[in-house]
Structure 1
Amino acid sequence: MADQNILDVAIVGYGPVGQSLAILLGERGYNVAAFDRWPSLYPLPRAVFHDHEIRRIFQAMGIGKEVERISQPSSTYQWFNADWKTLVEIDWSAESISDGPVGYLFNQPSLEALLDEKAKSLAGVSVQQGWEATELRQFPDCCELTLRKGKMDGNVWVPTGETQTVRARYVVGADGANSFVRKSEGIAFEDLGFQEDWLVIDLKPNEGVKLDVPDIGQWCNPARPTTMVPGGPGYRRWEFMRLPHESVEDLQKPEKVWDLLAPWVTPQDATLVRYAIYKFRSLIAENWHSGRVVLAGDAAHQMPPFMGQGMCSGIRDAWNLAWRFDLILKGISSSELLEGYTPERRPQVRAVIDASIAMGQVVCISNQQEAALRDEAYLSGQVPPLPPFPGLTDGLICGEERYAAHGAAGLLSVHGQVSNDGEQLRYDDALPNGFHIIVLDGDPEQHLDVGSLLALKRIGAQTIGITADPRKTVAGRILLDVSGKYRRFFDEHGVKAIVVRPDYYIFGAAETLSALPVLVGKLESRLCLLDQPSGETPITRVNAV
């Protein structure tokens, strides 16, 4: 098929994951169309938490300051038993590896409005709301997507009879749990076994009202397991588990909602924003990539909310895909680079789901005797602390022992304040996004051969030194480690250099600078680089109409 009138990427679904991918690709100059069944953004709260890694991605999108205005740093996440004795504390306010607290709370409609504004401001991005995908076909050089237009008649989506067909080199299904894209490719979900119904309530306390409630907490009370969290600045959320003897209908009555909220808040104290029953589930797609079609977000995975990682995991998917598409569409790498997407993302998300299930199994106990045994185990210190957040274990990382030095390969890289030619700023703001070769107390280029330098130039990599000694700095080449985080990270892992991917994960590390050229060669060999340009370069923008 001819290349005329073909989009680079078509995104089905325009929630935070689809919006993020549209922004990340649009900022790189690609022609992207995002389609969503609903004529407007979803107006009610859903996700309320994002972590430090996602905040770093928002910074990369150029909306860091705007996101800061609509969110608040998290405090300590506490789990209590029925008698309000503390079972678990997770300090989400602590300093993270990403230069800021571990987590933040936000209001999703406010976040989606920011993402929507950013996406629609990009010349290469076309956002088409009110279009439902109905057919997807793959060809050797592109995909063909058929859509039908609809409008809302009250609360019912009604087709108007208008249709369109668009072609794109790649299609991303970010279209939620009931993903049309996933089903069209015949990709099955693996059910990991967790399933509970919870009533989710969002409300806005009246001005001046202060509620006597833990800031972020799980009340592990077998009489009614309950979650209490901020819903972003000015909002609060409660979640109540449906008990075995209750029906879903029991929990959907307004009087029942206020009855459950009564210990903390009354109708005189706050305005009810919404309430809904959600089935918390644990599902993961068996494969996230099929030819020119990939899945992201809830289309690929669903998890209980107890770690606050549902939306975060989806945005990580978009972040992972963005740099892969960038290399492919520039004609630097072949489409085989997408083969690493599932091996990277699926194990990490599976580990997050497993941890979320484990946390849910602690919270969702409605039997008094089981709860008593749980309390005894936690209060006596028999339960080990939660494991660290998982990194990457497969895909584009150098797992050989020599280059995975002390577990550095696959970890999220350190990030902190640096000084460049007297100006103090975040490392990510000091340098363009891409592959980075970072050396402690030196200039990487002095330790790389001509072949390594040519390979790094081809992929647009940055070669940067970091030092704690102001006398060793060189403007634009060797930056001052103002925060001290880089020195601590390198010393902790016993390395002198790290190779960092565009999504901030470490490809590999070198214990000696003499090993750096070999590590760069391993990166080059793993990127599916083409000998000649593939012709898959950005084309003149074509609106899908």
Structure 2
Amino acid sequence: MNTDACTGDGSRNVPRDPEGGVEDSEVLIVGAGPAGLMLANILGMYGRTVTVLEAMDQLIDYPRGVGLDDESFRTIQTVGLVDTVRPHTNPQHIMRLVNGAGKVILVNNPQTDEFGWERKHGFIQPEVDKALYEGLARFDHVQVHFGHRVEDVIEDGESVTAIALVAGPDGEVEERRFRGRYLVGCEGGKSPTRKRLGVSFEGESPSTRWLVVDVNNDPLGTPNVFLGADPKRPYVSIGLPHAVRRWEFMLHDGETEDQVTDPAYVNELLANHVPNPSDLDFIRARVFTHHGRVASNFRKGRQLIAGDAAHLMPVWMGQGWNSGMRDATNLGWKLAAVLAGQTDDELLDTYTTERKDHAKAMVDLSLTFGKFIKVTNPIAATARDAASSVLNLLPQVKRYFADMRFKPMPRYTQGVLVDPTTQASGTATAGLTSKLIPVLTANSKVSPVGVQFPQPRVHTRLASNVLLDDAIGNWWSVIVWGNSPKDVLPQSSLDKLDALGARLVAVVPETQRAWAEQYMDPDVLVLGDHTGRVKKWFDDRPTPLVFLRPDRFVAGACLTQHAPTTLDAILRAMAFTGQPADSIPSLGVTRTRVSI
């Protein structure tokens, strides 16, 4: 792939159908935004052929999103781009909500690193998006074409063909056709793909407008975020990497876009923030409106949508960019499994099932948070501030906001899951209800199925203090505490796991690692829990055996004697065909087909 300067066509030679002039790949991605670029990296990692079609001539080069969370960083880690993304972030991005007098109402400063990374980062989106784009240069089987506007899509029972218009060197318009087995629209909120699917886009667009102002050479230097709940004019002030500062000001009715983007008016808005606004090095000043919408379905036939095409997030929780990453993380491994012949096409229906509810929850939370900040009635603002002061006196309330516990973590209740109590396929309740004594006496009755597994650091035979995901690889895993999966699973289950391509993992206290490496089967990866964090997780839950999906969500968790039934239910939930995982090159192992 041409990664010269993220400009121009960026095309490379690809196979053409000699009769129709159609260029073939397995997946067509429309839109080189963050969701599309991450999805292309995930599919490239799994060896799938991908063509990305972008209408613009280059990547967007101005800041948009400013918040990157730990879940997204875990996905960036999975595709091997941490080293190129990390320099464009500032970890532990603290948010302070202040009233009109500058008094702190609440602080959001989560300290947890449950998923291996700081919970919140500020970031420079153009640089991170560019890192995702340049990461595609690793894959000869991934193509990116800039200046290709998809005008129409033709779908049949076996494939989908995108018809793109391209401007030639002399200004003439050329038509090019690209064919794939699936097409994913990642073209933003006005997504033509979503409109072609005919799905609704439900939600609201608040009438308030905002002026966003980005400057270089940050004149304040404070590295964090202030949300100004000032009834006279709510505002946001954000310290970003590379000495960039962002302000956002809520606009009043009657203020026109031409008026508020005039340099003199911008300087007037900034007068209470910096001594001399006219000396600032401006990047841009732009008016935007918040939207909160979610598509009714993320898939129809061979076409799917992701990112802003599937849901639009108000900016308050910084979840627009991150929600696109979650989409790519969920969809990427499923497309790879379908294309490898491991599962039937119906697996892709679980993409909507699993992602839609959480996307809506994030939209609803962001809208609610925005209403709390945007209060302009002085009496209502005084009441809000007084209530906040009282609540801040309660330690548990203070921790609730500081640790970001109000943010709904994804929990899938339907999809590629198995209920830990009933072993029902395709569904999982949030609680453990078994009457067995290990469940009755457990610290937690909350089911770990349908949520992300934590990512502590572990020791291996070859490396010390590595993150869990780097140790276990990027596909399915079976993790057993204190024992070898080969010693607790029957051969029939081991054969199915082998066909699936699952990694067999035993986690033991670091004190036992040398013993386990000597006596356990060499096909089992032994991890030493030197921090005690894995032990704590298993100690709280009566589920010593965990089936971990490629996206790091728990598909099943159970007592070892329930493992064969749980595994079979997982395979049914994902419509597993028994086809071995040989065509997923990142696994690099030859396996045998099994009967399911």
User: 2: CA distance between counterparts of 1:283 and 1:452?
Assistant: 43
User: 2: CA distance between counterparts of 1:313 and 1:197?
Assistant: 22
1:440/1:490 contact within 8 Å kept: yes
Residue matched to 2:3? none
Distance 1:519 1:174, change over 3 A: same
1:228/1:236 contact within 8 Å kept: yes
Residue-by-residue CA offset, 1:323-351 (whole Å, 9 max, x unaligned): 00111011110111001010100001111
Residue-by-residue CA offset, 1:19-61 (whole Å, 9 max, x unaligned): 1111111121111000011011111111111101111111111
User: Which residues of 2 match residues 343-492 of structure 1 at below 5 A?
Assistant: 343-381=353-391, 385=400, 386-391=405-410, 392-401=412-421, 405=432, 406-421=446-461, 423-424=463-464, 425-473=466-514, 474-475=516-517, 477-492=525-540
User: 2: CA distance between counterparts of 1:449 and 1:269?
Assistant: 72
Task: Report SS of the residue matched to 2:105.
Answer: strand
Residue matched to 1:542? none
2:189/2:308 contact within 8 Å kept: yes
Distance 1:369 1:159, change over 3 A: farther
Q: Is the counterpart of residue 274 in structure 1 residue 291 in structure 2?
A: no
Structure 2 unaligned regions, length at least 5 = 1-16, 433-445, 518-523, 586-596
TM-score (norm 1): 0.91
**Alpha-carbon offset, residue 159 of structure 1:** 7.2
Stretch moving more, 44-53 or 248-257? 248-257
User: 2: CA distance between counterparts of 1:10 and 1:448?
Assistant: 40
User: 2: CA distance between counterparts of 1:534 and 1:217?
Assistant: 49
User: Across the two proteins, how many residue pairs are aligned to each other?
Assistant: 528
Structure 1 unaligned regions, length at least 5 = 153-157, 539-545
1:28/1:326 contact within 8 Å kept: yes
Residue matched to 1:297? 307
Distance 1:312 1:340, change over 3 A: same
Paired amino acid for 1:48: V
Task: Report SS of the residue matched to 1:380.
Answer: helix
Distance 1:146 1:537, change over 3 A: farther
Residue-by-residue CA offset, 1:333-374 (whole Å, 9 max, x unaligned): 011100101010000111111111111111111111221222
TM-score (norm 2): 0.84
Residue matched to 2:134? 117
2:56/2:146 contact within 8 Å kept: yes
1:16/1:315 contact within 8 Å kept: yes
Residue matched to 1:218? 227
User: Which residues of 2 match residues 126-165 of structure 1 at below 5 A?
Assistant: 126-150=143-167, 160-165=172-177
User: 2: CA distance between counterparts of 1:220 and 1:159?
Assistant: 50
User: 2: CA distance between counterparts of 1:24 and 1:99?
Assistant: 19
User: 2: CA distance between counterparts of 1:175 and 1:32?
Assistant: 16
Residue matched to 2:195? 183
Paired amino acid for 2:344: S
Taking only aligned residues, the RMSD between alpha carbons, in angstroms, comes to: 2.6
1:498/1:509 contact within 8 Å kept: yes
Paired amino acid for 2:564: P
Task: Report SS of the residue matched to 1:22.
Answer: helix
1:329/1:537 contact within 8 Å kept: no
**Alpha-carbon offset, residue 172 of structure 1:** 0.2
Match among 233, 241, 248 for residue 242 of structure 2:
233
Distance 1:356 1:413, change over 3 A: same
Residue-by-residue CA offset, 1:466-497 (whole Å, 9 max, x unaligned): 12242245446221112322122222334312
User: 2: CA distance between counterparts of 1:375 and 1:243?
Assistant: 22
1:35/1:132 contact within 8 Å kept: yes
Paired amino acid for 1:490: F
**Alpha-carbon offset, residue 194 of structure 1:** 3.8
Residue matched to 1:500? 548
Whichever structure has more strand as a proportion of its residues is 1
Task: Report SS of the residue matched to 2:562.
Answer: helix
1:328/1:536 contact within 8 Å kept: no
Task: Report SS of the residue matched to 2:486.
Answer: helix
1:348/1:393 contact within 8 Å kept: no
Distance 1:451 1:105, change over 3 A: same
User: Which residues of 2 match residues 311-326 of structure 1 at below 5 A?
Assistant: 311-326=321-336
**Alpha-carbon offset, residue 210 of structure 1:** 4.5
Residue matched to 1:155? none
User: 1: CA distance between counterparts of 2:578 and 2:296?
Assistant: 32
Residue matched to 1:516? 563
Residue matched to 1:541? none
User: 2: CA distance between counterparts of 1:44 and 1:349?
Assistant: 25
2:46/2:584 contact within 8 Å kept: no
1:10/1:168 contact within 8 Å kept: yes
